[in-house]
Amino acid sequence: MRADPVIITGTGLIALAALPPASPLLEARLPTHILSQYPVVIAGGAVIGARLARDRPAPWTAAPALLAVILTLAFWLLPRWIDASLTDPATRVAKIASLACLAGLPLGWGWVQAGMVLRGFLIANAAAMLAVMGWLLLAVPSRLCSAYLLTDQRLAGQGLLIAAALLVIGSLGGAMIARDTGMRDRTSGHRTVN
Amino acid sequence: MRAALATVAVAALGAAALWWGTDQGGALTSEAARRLDIAATPRRLPDVTLHDQTGAEMALSEYRGAPLVLEFVYATCPDICLTLGTAFEQLDATLPADARLVSISFDPNDDTERLGWFADRHRAAPPRWRVAYVADARGRDALLDRAGVVVIPDGLGGFVHNAGLYLVDADGRLTAVFDPEDTEGLRARLIGNAR
């Protein structure tokens, strides 16, 4: 089988964020850990997932795939498991593997397979989860992660709120553009919903 | 139909993972998880040699036979260790006569003189209350690791650490960790254990 450049790119992204020299730097601070390492690993998986889904239409897989994304991300945002991934090498491997394969891969796959409603559902859910987590990191007076300072916790909280806001604004913008072009697509026979 | 079944299956798996990963919803943080784990399966602490504020040496294992309360501090600590010191003052005043207190420093730079500052501030005196450091770095790390104490530099020359009061039973097993404010809970448990 010939190596696919998209799959190489995705694997490269995962390796870049998960291996030294970048990983110790990213994991040294809470904001870079969950707002840089996580997104890059997930993006790497998503690129591969989207590529795999391209010529394999299976709309029924979209909902379970996107649900897996939400649940996997929720698990690795638990302060307990953020801490554990720093002290236990096996947990670190499990974190990277599941963020790539159970969050990234199904994100790319499910996004391609999903219709507008499911995509909207995913974005609303992800934004709500990031906002709640961000609010929690800002509101709790004590440290939630034993491995990180309180100042880092506050920074990460602000970052998560910003990420949630960008997600909502971005998808709203996307929806408006889609509505404009959707009219044209429909008359020319393109599929916009499934 | 396939979609619904697969979605329910993923939801069930995810819920199970989160249920397991939080100890049935009870432990969202590693601190809560540590305390649950210690309460469920008491841990035997490694034996280390303590050097106290008077310069005397003593093995941690010599405390067997009577209840012992530990806390982990450093001599130049500006905030949480003061709370811990105050908690120990209260325990000093209220615990049964055979109970012992040891404030253990995790700062490699702490010596007899610096521990004296901490001891004087809180009127700690052996044999009831020792303020001690562990000279052997490997022993110190093993003790901190076993007790689940996580120490990180605060970037200002000090440390940030998960604070607690550590109850060790007469057999030398760490059986519970309490909040620094919860001296009453610790006293009740210690007296309950002794009975």
Residues B52-64: tens digit of each pLDDT:
999 999 999 999 9
Residue B35 lies in a domain: no
Among B11, B15, B152, whose Cβ lies nearest the Cβ of A149? B152
Same domain? For B112 and B78 the reply is: yes
Q: Are B76 and B102 within one domain?
A: yes
pLDDT value at position A192? 44
- The share of chain B scoring above pLDDT 90, in percent, equals 62
Task: List the CATH number of the domain containing B87.
Answer: 3.40.30.10
Q: How far apart are CA B34 and CA A161, in angstroms?
A: 29
Domain-embedded: residue B180: yes
Whether residue B183 has pLDDT greater than 70:
yes
> Contact B30/A64, CB-based, under 8 Å?
no
pLDDT in tens, A121-141: 999 999 999 999 999 999 988
Tally of domains in chain A:
1
Residue B141 lies in a domain: yes
pLDDT at A187: 46
Residue of A nearest to B26 (CA): A80
Mind listing the pLDDT tens digit for each residue in A158-173? 999 999 999 999 988 8
In a domain, A117, yes or no: yes
pLDDT band at A194 (very low <50, low <70, confident <90, very high): very low
**Residue A193 within a domain:** no
Q: Which domain, by its residues, includes B171?
A: 42-194
Domain assignment present for B169? yes
Does A75 contact B18 at a Cβ distance shorter than 8 Å? yes
What confidence tier does A184 reach under pLDDT thresholds 50, 70, 90?
A: low
Residue for token digits 């971005």?
Answer: A170
Angle at the Cα of A50 (from A47 to A56), degrees rounded to 5? 150
Total of domains in chain B: 2
> Which structural domain range is residue A109 located in?
5-188
B147 and B62 assigned to the same domain: yes
Residue B166 pLDDT exceeds 60: yes
Higher pLDDT, A177 or A40: A40
Asked whether residue B34 is assigned to any structural domain, the reply reads no
Q: Are B53 and B18 contained in the same domain? A: no
User: Quick check: A189 pLDDT over 50?
Assistant: no
Q: Are B28 and A74 in contact (CB under 8 A)?
A: no
Does residue B17 sit in the same domain as residue B49? no
Q: How confident is the model at residue B163 (pLDDT cuts 50, 70, 90)?
A: confident
Go through B6-15 and write b for each residue having 16 or more CB atoms within 10 A of its CB, e for each that does not: bbeebbeebe
Average pLDDT on A90-95 reads 96
Examine the domain organization and report whether B13 and B97 are in the same domain: no
What per-residue confidence (pLDDT) applies to A53? Answer: 93
pLDDT in tens, B129-152: 999 999 899 999 999 999 999 998
Are the Cβ atoms of A148 and B152 closer than 8 angstroms?
A: yes
More confident site: B144 or A192: B144
Query: Would you say residue A181 lies in a domain?
Result: yes
Q: Are residues B80 and B116 in the same domain?
A: yes
Residue B37 lies in a domain: no
Chain A and chain B share a number of CB contacts under 8 A equal to 76
Closest among B181, B86, B7, B108 to A65, alpha carbons compared: B7
Res. B119: pLDDT tops 70: yes
